[in-house]
Amino acid sequence: MWPFSRKGPSGFSWYSTAEEVTQGLDGSGLTAIVTGASSGIGSETARVLSLRGVHVVMAVRNLSTGASVKEAIVKEIPTAKVDVMQLDLTSMASVRKFASDFDNLNLPLNILINNAGVMSTPFTLSQDGIELQFATNHVGHFLLTHLLLENMKNTSRESKIEGRIVNVSSEGHRFPYREGIRFDKINDQSGYGSWTAYGQSKLANILHANELSRRFKEEGVEITANSLHPGSIITNLLRYHSFMDGGSNDMLRRVASASQRGEWKVF
């Protein structure tokens, strides 16, 4: 049997769509924030959550692109509740402004999907002087989660509905720098590796979710925190590399191989 079509314990396979996985679910009354919702996995997540009745807040860097995605969603789903708000994860000021603006809407927050990211970029520093991949994939989402956490705790407590935080990680977390996360060398350009820096940021996503989960259990908070590998999916995350690039091919082969062996899981 073709391995990607084999169904797992959940009853779904790599070929299962978001619509199939959420069939029969009613998200009416729930509010979700999806970062990076203007393309790829993020836009499909926003669309299907809207289809299931969830009020979706699209957190996007480019408002024009986000507005186009929203228009397409509303055209397909006339009853959809979708808002578009600007969020640049490379800027801590932008993250703080987004969180403040969201709080001013007086909306509950049931679901936070930390999806936005960049992959294997040339060495660059963020607006705050942090290596771009670590800043975008981890630090920005870490701060965003922290700033929204009180709202999520209040929402779960008042609604009696368990909250959800999802960090979109990657099988690439298995291939960081040799020492793991180089906290004392985050901005070391001389030792920078674009793929290992990506793996480092994805490892941080997992550790973040694990620690949140531990703290929620310790505090008795009704929120779950999970990280996941979405699979090898062709999106504009690959914009910095061609499939003809040997390094990219090697990394993708390693990721796909580990995934087919069943070595990745939802943490």
What is the predicted pLDDT for the residue at 176?
67
* Angle formed by the axes of helices 92-104 and 140-159, nearest 10°: 20
Burial (0-12, 13-18, 19+ Cβ within 10 Å), 203 = buried
Query: What is d(CA 129, CA 7) in angstroms, rounded to the nearest whole number?
Result: 44
| CA of residue 227 relative to chain centroid, distance | 8
Domain count along the chain: 1
pLDDT in tens, the chain (267 residues): 455 567 778 888 878 888 999 999 999 999 999 999 999 999 999 999 999 999 999 999 999 999 999 999 999 999 999 999 999 999 999 999 999 999 999 999 999 999 999 998 999 999 999 999 999 999 999 999 999 999 999 999 999 999 999 999 777 777 767 888 999 999 999 999 999 999 999 999 999 999 999 999 999 999 999 998 775 555 454 444 444 344 444 544 444 444 443 333 332
Question: Does some domain include residue 241?
Answer: no
Question: Does some domain include residue 65?
Answer: yes
Residue 116 contacts residue 89 (beta carbons within 8 Å):
yes
Question: Does some domain include residue 17?
Answer: no
Question: Does some domain include residue 78?
Answer: yes
Question: Does some domain include residue 93?
Answer: yes
249 token code pair? 């091919």
Residue 86 contacts residue 60 (beta carbons within 8 Å):
yes
Range of the domain at 90: 26-236
Tokens 């703290």 sit at which residue? 215
Question: Does some domain include residue 19?
Answer: no
What is the predicted pLDDT for the residue at 78?
98
pTM of the predicted model as reported, rounded to 2 decimal places = 0.85
Cβ-based neighbours of 55, under 8 Å, separated by 6 or more: 30, 31, 32, 81, 82, 83, 107
Residues recognised as catalytic: 192
What is the predicted pLDDT for the residue at 236?
55
Residue 168 contacts residue 230 (beta carbons within 8 Å):
yes
Instruction: Give me the count of residues in the chain.
Output: 267
The domain that contains 50 carries what CATH number?
Answer: 3.40.50.720
Question: Does some domain include residue 160?
Answer: yes
Q: Is the dihedral of CA 98, 99, 105, 111 positive or negative?
A: positive
Question: Does some domain include residue 156?
Answer: yes
